[in-house]
């Protein structure tokens, strides 16, 4: 049995759990570290413990899928907060050479983010000074990059001058110094790919935009990748928390010598050209990146495709793209005039009648499902036609997750399906519907607006009322399952072990437990 060792980006379910759930649908052995070893949000994982675990587990393994951010910094948030110098970072990265020396046949698939620069004031996942200066720091990077590539407008020149005096020197110095260190680590990872220590590398662009620090660093890396003829082994595109799923699927396709064809169908003709919020390129180009990185390619027609990827896309991009909390009537007019919900649902019905494997990437709004589409699919009895679904956080997060699930499911469609594997595929689909639609789009906003004020809590402060909030989530999701997922006949399942990993109302962790398994 092929063994894959996996080091996640952090301890949240999207990174630590989703790839393992998809791997469980297969016949490969997937080894993950204990969650307790992965740190806790701003608390970095212990590097020595991680390095020892990797050396032990990869000794007889075939593949390693490794987050370099976790190995070097101790996680995604610590990568934005650390005070490590470049030499220490390179020393920690050198663990990869030790893994190869101990097991020369080990193939290493690595990923390391280009550090994000959010456009808002919040220190929730950033240094403390971001609470007051986050938006200005983002604008500083945006204008710095544009100034290098183009000419600033008079208004932008004036804003640049204001930023020079408004931004605290210490905060700007701290940010730029850390970004230089992190950029040097990415350059070193590219060298490792050139030398063959890393067999395949993804450098995801975390919450990026057309201009800014991320765009500037991306250009330098792209030049290096092209100059060293590494275009086939180093991919750079928007993403972050879905990369574990993507790389597992790429390894899976390599093991099985499987090259799936995916036919892509949009809900709006403008969808492929729209640049999603938090990203730097059109949706159509991002989808190519996700499919290629996962080991698939876009098919010419649905007739011969292994997967039909239904992409529910916005018809407007960037800041005018809707979030889940915006009522339908308050969205940009293109949500009414340039997306054909009815035709999209009808196409799902048609593909289902032809027994096609249908994966739905619900990316028309950010941070959850588009309830307009999901209501239509529910009313039309089409939810059970789906084999894979995702609608969480950014467009890239959803795409990577649903593509990975669909590719694995499509491979086993060609064989006689084992009942246990089929059950795991279905349960992952149900978990995505429950979390991405039920929690992210419906229950979360309900609790924040109607329950937290009475309980004395806030979106980012629920630790003191944690158990009450967990019970509210369970009760409301149980109701969602009974009322909205009735077609799946989930009366033999129950939600257990509900928790909010970072003590905020965003990420949700839970188990969908089969009562039969428990009683048996």
pLDDT digits over 354-374, tens only? Answer: 999 999 999 999 999 999 999
- Tell me: the pLDDT tens digits for 471-508? 999 999 999 999 999 989 887 788 999 999 999 999 99
Give me the residue label for tokens 């990369």. 243
Q: Determine if the pTM surpasses 0.75.
A: yes
pLDDT score recorded for residue 318: 86
Q: What is the pLDDT of residue 518?
A: 47
pLDDT at 292: 98
136 has a pLDDT exceeding 80: yes
Mean pLDDT (whole number) for 295-315: 97
**Residue 102: phi, psi to the nearest 5?**
-75, -25
Specify the 3-state DSSP secondary structure of 64.
strand
Q: Tens digits of per-residue pLDDT, 167-201?
A: 999 999 999 999 999 999 999 999 999 999 999 99
Each residue's pLDDT tens digit, 23-74: 999 999 999 999 999 999 999 999 999 999 999 999 999 999 999 999 999 9
Q: Which of 44, 37, 66, 59 has its CA nearest to residue 105?
A: 59
**What's 447-471 look like in SS3?**
HHHHCHHHHCCECCECHHHHHHHHH
Q: CA nearest 63: which of 13, 36, 103, 9?
A: 103
Inform me whether the pLDDT recorded for 208 exceeds 90: no
164 versus 94: which is more confidently predicted?
94
What pLDDT was estimated at residue 516?
A: 63
As a whole-number percent, the residues of the chain with pLDDT over 90 amount to 91
- Give the helix ranges, DSSP H, for 150-300: 154-166, 169-195, 213-227, 243-256, 283-293
| Cβ neighbour number for residue 60 with a 10 Å cutoff | 12
User: What was the pLDDT predicted at 116?
Assistant: 93
Whether residue 517 has pLDDT greater than 60: no
Lowest mean pLDDT segment, chosen from 79-88, 144-153, 282-291, 352-361: 144-153
The pLDDT mean for the chain works out to 95
For the stretch 11-20, pLDDT in tens is 999 999 999 9
- Can you tell me the distance from the alpha carbon of 480 to that of 473, in angstroms, rounded to the nearest whole number? 10
Report pLDDT for 125.
96
3-state secondary structure 265-278: EECCCCHHHCCCCC
Helices 154-166 and 130-149, interaxial angle, to 10°?
Answer: 140
């Amino acid at each position: 049995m092929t063994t894959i060792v996996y080091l996640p980006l952090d301890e949240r379910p999207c990174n630590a759990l989703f790839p393992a759930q998809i791997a469980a649908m297969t016949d490969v052995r997937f080894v993950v570290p204990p969650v307790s070893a992965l740190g806790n949000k701003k608390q970095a994982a212990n590097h020595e413990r991680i390095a020892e675990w990797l050396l032990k587990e990869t000794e007889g393994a075939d593949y390693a899928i490794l987050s370099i951010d976790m190995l070097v910094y101790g996680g995604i948030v610590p990568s934005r907060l650390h005070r490590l110098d470049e030499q220490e970072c390179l020393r920690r990265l050198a663990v990869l050479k030790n893994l190869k020396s101990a097991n020369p046949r080990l193939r290493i698939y690595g990923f390391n983010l280009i550090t994000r620069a959010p456009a808002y004031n919040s220190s929730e996942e950033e240094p403390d000074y971001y609470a007051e200066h986050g938006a200005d720091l983002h604008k500083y990077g945006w204008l710095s990059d544009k100034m290098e590539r183009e000419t600033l407008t008079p208004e932008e020149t004036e804003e640049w001058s204001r930023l020079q005096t408004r931004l605290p020197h210490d905060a700007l110095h701290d940010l730029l110094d850390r970004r230089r260190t992190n950029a040097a680590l990415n350059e070193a990872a590219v060298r490792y790919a050139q030398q063959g220590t890393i067999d395949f590398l993804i450098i995801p662009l975390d919450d990026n935009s057309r201009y800014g620090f991320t765009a500037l660093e991306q250009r330098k890396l792209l030049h290096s990748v092209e100059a060293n003829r590494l275009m086939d082994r180093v991919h750079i595109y928007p993403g972050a928390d879905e990369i574990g799923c993507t790389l597992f699927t790429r390894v899976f396709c390599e093991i099985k010598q499987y090259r799936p064809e995916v036919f892509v169908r949009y809900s709006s003709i403008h969808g492929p050209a729209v640049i999603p919020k938090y990203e730097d390129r059109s949706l159509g180009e991002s989808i190519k990146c996700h499919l290629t990185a996962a080991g698939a390619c876009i098919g010419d027609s649905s007739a011969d495709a292994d997967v039909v990827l239904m992409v529910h896309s916005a018809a407007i991009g960037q800041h005018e793209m809707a979030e889940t909390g915006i009522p339908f009537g308050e969205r940009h007019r293109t949500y009414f005039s340039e997306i054909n919900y009815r035709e999209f649902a009808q196409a799902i019905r048609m593909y289902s009648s032809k027994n096609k494997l249908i994966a739905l990437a619900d990316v028309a709004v950010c941070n959850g499902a588009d309830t307009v589409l999901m209501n239509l699919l529910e009313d039309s009895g089409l939810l059970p036609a789906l084999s894979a679904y995702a609608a969480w956080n950014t467009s890239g997060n959803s795409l990577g997750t649903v593509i990975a699930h669909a590719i694995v499911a499509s491979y086993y469609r060609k064989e006689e399906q084992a009942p246990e594997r089929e059950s795991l595929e279905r349960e992952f689909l149900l978990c995505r519907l429950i979390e991405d639609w039920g929690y992210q789009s419906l229950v979360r906003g309900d609790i924040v607006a109607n329950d937290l004020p009475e309980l004395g809590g806030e979106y980012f402060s629920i630790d003191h009322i944690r158990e009450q909030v967990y019970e509210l989530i369970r009760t409301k999701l149980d109701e969602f399952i009974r009322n909205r997922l009735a077609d799946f006949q989930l009366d033999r399942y129950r939600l257990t072990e509900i928790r909010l990993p970072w003590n905020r109302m965003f990420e949700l962790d839970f188990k969908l437990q089969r009562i039969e398994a428990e009683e048996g």
